[in-house]
Amino acid sequence: MVIKVYIATSSGSTSIKKQQQDVMGFLAVNKIAYEECDIAANETNRKWMRENIPQESQPAVGNPLPPQIFNEIKYCGNYEAFFDAREDNAVYAFLGLTAPPGSKEAEALLKKAAQQQQ
């Protein structure tokens, strides 16, 4: 499974650029395989991204802005959802991946399972 991050390489927005760098930097540091899909230079990527974001995750006005994150074709979320998952040590779950042994997320899952068995 490859995580796909839909980005805009020619975005004029500093905020969007920082968000894109934040997502891809996190994935790279944690050795999570990902693919950049540029929506600014590739109309097919832009169209696919817009068509595959669920209706309930679409903005009320306008088009969804990058970065948008998918696990292959399954929508994971936008930057805000990624940020929340990172703050909650739940990025692997957010991405639909198994947390590696020894990670904070894996330890939290083990602790939760142990509490449920009691």
Question: Which residue type is seen at 63?
Answer: N
Residue with tokens 């974001």: 53
DSSP 17-45: HHHHHHHHHHHHHTT--EEEEESSS-HHH
For residue 103, the model assigns a pLDDT of: 83
Contact 99, 105 (CB under 8 A): yes
Nearest alpha carbon to residue 70 among 103, 23, 115:
23
Q: Which two tokens stand for residue 65?
A: 């802005």
* Residue pLDDT, tens place only, 10-39: 888 999 999 999 999 999 999 999 999 999
For residue 12, the model assigns a pLDDT of: 85
Question: Which residue type is seen at 28?
Answer: A
* Structure confidence at residue 113 as a pLDDT band (50, 70, 90): confident
* Residue pLDDT, tens place only, 72-93: 999 999 999 999 999 999 999 9
* Residue pLDDT, tens place only, 43-81: 999 999 999 999 999 999 999 999 999 999 999 999 999
pTM of the model: 0.88
Domain CATH number, residue 51: 3.40.30.10
* Structure confidence at residue 3 as a pLDDT band (50, 70, 90): very high
Domain tally, the chain: 1
Range of the domain at 68: 3-117
Burial 64-82 (b: 16+ CB within 10 A, else e): ebbbbbbbeeebbbbbeeb
